[in-house]
Amino acid sequence: MNRKLALPDRILLSVEKPARYTGGEVNSIMKDKEHIAVRFAMCFPDLYEIGMSHLGMQIIYSMLNSRDDIWCERVFSVWPDLFQIMKEEKIPLFALESQDPIKDFDFLGITLQYEMAYTNVLAVLDLAQIPLHASDRKDGDPLVIGGGPCAANPEPLAPFFDMFYMGEGETVYFELLDAYKANKEANGSREDFLLKAANVEGIYVPKFYETAYNEDGTISHFGPKDEYIGLVPNSILKQTVEDLSDTYYPEAPVIPYVQATQDRAVLEVMRGCIRGCRFCQAGMLYRPCRIRSLDFLKKRARYLIENTGYEELSLTSLSTSDYPFFEELMDYLVNEFSDRKVNISLPSLRIDEFSLDVMSKVQDVRKSSLTFAPEAGTQRLRDVINKGITLEDIMTGSEMAFRGGWNKVKLYFMLGLPTETQEDIAGIADLSEQIAELYYDTVPKEERQGKIQITVSTSFFIPKPFTPFQWEPMYQPETYLDKAGFLNATIKEKLNQRSIRYNWHDAKTSVIEGLLARGDRRVSSIIEDVYVSGASFDAWTDHFDYDKWIRAIENAPFGLDFYVYRRREQDEILPWDFIDIGVTKEFMKKEFQNALQEIVTPNCREKCSGCGASVFKGGICFENKN
């Protein structure tokens, strides 16, 4: 099909990597728009290379396009060079496939994967010439729907969206789009449809709800507006796929021409995680942990490789070692693909004898590195955060790996965790030094392939909604930098300091992320002000402008002191309380107490802790019961 591009040569040849905007990739889907009932633009609000690396988007894309009456197309953020030209020339943002303006679509779906993309969300709406506020949109405008993990606290973005989809996309999208079709055929209004949508399980329509506040700024009431009481649900139930072996999987994903950040085939082996790390939002949001069957994965792996021609297949999940048929799956993949030159990459593996054996089969030992994420430097603090990994795990794993020829180790930690002391921070340096010493003790001089290389990275802990630490305060950026400085100095005192590289995240970005993660509806005006002042691509270090954020926050009635640096009361109404993720607030409170008492909670496979996720009738909650 010969597609007419939205942008002329003159513009495309003047911007960086024009192929980001031209579509037409192998496996992208073209349809005849004359025979389409619902046009859906699926947006990842960041650069093409980032968005095209995202599995969720490919799942929704292939799922929606499996229906003849729906055409799902892709749209991404436009890099500032082109953004400026399109604004100046009033060219509306377009979808990659048809190159048609997305303002003419029925739906614009935006996936919210990280908070620092929020200004990009506004940039997308603005460039698309869609009114920023849902309340300003008319019947002909697209319905803007948000989804993804950040939608778990939709309130900071509430005014900009017509709807939010809570949870996993596979469940109610068709129900929602069918309701839209029916409404259109019945000549129903936008309002009519939104009221129907609000009654589709998992769909939140912010305009039907309101918040009242106490004088101190905390929430006194949240619920449906008076006129909608009884017409819309009081709480929104998160959606989960019950059986992950009987659902949509993109067997022929779109293959980007421009190299994506994750340039490989992706096989999701399970969803959710049996480990209840207390800082981890994904670990709670995606409960219960559900696996895909071995048979499902074998088939999908084959299709993926055949349909894409990729020479790398990545197994993904929150903790791949916990996949119960991991050994069988790896045996199969190694056998099936070894003569086809397909590499298997294995992120998020626990290091043990088996995984090392597998890794030495599928990776170049000399080049690959071992990754541990102890998250905290002492056992005490690891117990606080319920990170199951022990010193012994790390040491035994490292020793085996050193004997196997590895000499690169990456260690990930968080600074600023609840109850953290200087001793815990110093523990990170001690642990790194111990690993270095272990290398020299384990590997005889003549067998060493150069020095051991240890890379220590720290991020700053950001309390997220729906975690046992959701009430916790954050520190000021200066305090974070003091912590990083202290760790750096402690590492420098170690014998093997030359073998240890240390880098830390940006503290100011972390604080803003904290604001967006736990904000309420009033934070939307800050986001809008920052966007209007010219901010975008905040997730990109070079583009993040802290001063712009601070100026916008200063003009708001409540700022960082209220949202970020304050310890919230356990009985306070939190902005995201109306969303039901299955896991109960009572469980979070209990887990918070366990954290303070340094009590470890067993993982879901060892023992059920009664978190509440069993309401979803699937996965690990029932694994051992039938």
Partner 1 sequence: MKIRIKFTKEASVKYLGHLDIMRFFQRCFNRAGVKMVYSEGFNPHQKMSFAMPLGLGIESRGEYLDCEIADGQNLEEVKNKMNLVSGDGFHILSVRELKENACKVMAAVRFASYQILFDAAIKECAIEHSIKELHSRGSYLVHKKTKKKEQDVDILPQIINLSYQGQTLLITLRAGGDQNIKAETVASVLFDLMGIDYHREKITIMRLELFAEDLVPLEDFETIRT
Query: Cα 518–154–514 angle (5° rounding)?
Result: 20
Q: Burial-class residue 307 by CB neighbours within 10 Å (0-12, 13-18, 19+).
A: middle
Q: Is 624 in the site for partner 1 (CB under 8 A)?
A: no
Among 90, 341, 445, 607, binds partner 1 (CB under 8 A): 341
Cβ nearer to partner 1, comparing 310 with 412 = 310
Q: Is 88 in the site for partner 1 (CB under 8 A)?
A: no
Among 311, 482, 577, 623, binds partner 1 (CB under 8 A): 311
Q: Return d(Cα 473, Cα 566) in angstroms, integer.
A: 5
What are the two backbone dihedrals, phi and then psi, of residue 514, each rounded to the nearest 5 degrees? Answer: -60, -40
- Which is nearest to 54 in space by CA: 165, 162, 147, 174? 147
Q: Return d(Cα 59, Cα 49) in angstroms, integer.
A: 17
Cβ nearer to partner 1, comparing 1 with 186 = 1
Among 243, 306, 353, 357, binds partner 1 (CB under 8 A): 306
Count the residues of the shown chain that bind partner 1, applying the rule CB under 8 A: 34
Please choose, out of 7-15, 55-63, 501-509, 510-518, the segment that lies near partner 1 by the rule CB under 8 A: 7-15
Cβ nearer to partner 1, comparing 111 with 308 = 308
Among 2, 597, 624, 626, binds partner 1 (CB under 8 A): 2
> Coil, helix or strand for 125?
helix
Q: Is 18 in the site for partner 1 (CB under 8 A)?
A: yes
Site for partner 1 in 31-50 (CB under 8 A): none
Report in angstroms the alpha-carbon separations of 504 from 413, 418, 446, 494, 497: 9, 18, 34, 18, 16
Cβ nearer to partner 1, comparing 258 with 532 = 258
Please choose, out of 20-28, 65-73, 411-419, 492-500, the segment that lies near partner 1 by the rule CB under 8 A: 20-28
What minimum distance in Å lies between the beta carbon of 563 and partner 1? 43
Q: Is 405 in the site for partner 1 (CB under 8 A)?
A: no
Q: Return d(Cα 90, Cα 84) in angstroms, integer.
A: 10
Q: Return d(Cα 475, Cα 327) in angstroms, integer.
A: 43
> What letter represents residue 58's amino acid?
Q
Among 366, 451, 492, 617, binds partner 1 (CB under 8 A): 366
- Which is nearest to 496 in space by CA: 446, 431, 445, 448? 431
What minimum distance in Å lies between the beta carbon of 485 and partner 1? 39
Query: For every residue of 66-115, which 3-state class applies, written as one string?
Result: CCCCEEEEEEECCCHHHHHHHHHCCCCCECCCCCCEHHHCCEEEEECCCH
Q: Return d(Cα 536, Cα 123) in angstroms, integer.
A: 7
Do residues 341 and 374 make contact, with C-beta atoms less than 8 angstroms apart? no
Please choose, out of 11-19, 105-113, 132-140, 497-505, the segment that lies near partner 1 by the rule CB under 8 A: 11-19
* 337 CA to centre of own chain: 30
Q: Is 485 in the site for partner 1 (CB under 8 A)?
A: no
Q: Is 259 in the site for partner 1 (CB under 8 A)?
A: yes
Q: Is 312 in the site for partner 1 (CB under 8 A)?
A: no
Copy the structure tokens of residue 134.
């849902």
Please choose, out of 15-23, 71-79, 416-424, 488-496, the segment that lies near partner 1 by the rule CB under 8 A: 15-23
Please choose, out of 304-312, 346-354, 444-452, 603-611, the segment that lies near partner 1 by the rule CB under 8 A: 304-312
Among 225, 309, 347, 606, binds partner 1 (CB under 8 A): 309
Among 37, 231, 310, 426, binds partner 1 (CB under 8 A): 310
Do residues 55 and 24 make contact, with C-beta atoms less than 8 angstroms apart? no
Please give the residue ranges that form the binding site for partner 1 (CB under 8 A).
1-3, 5, 8-10, 12-13, 17-19, 22-26, 255, 257-259, 263, 305-311, 340-341, 364, 366-367
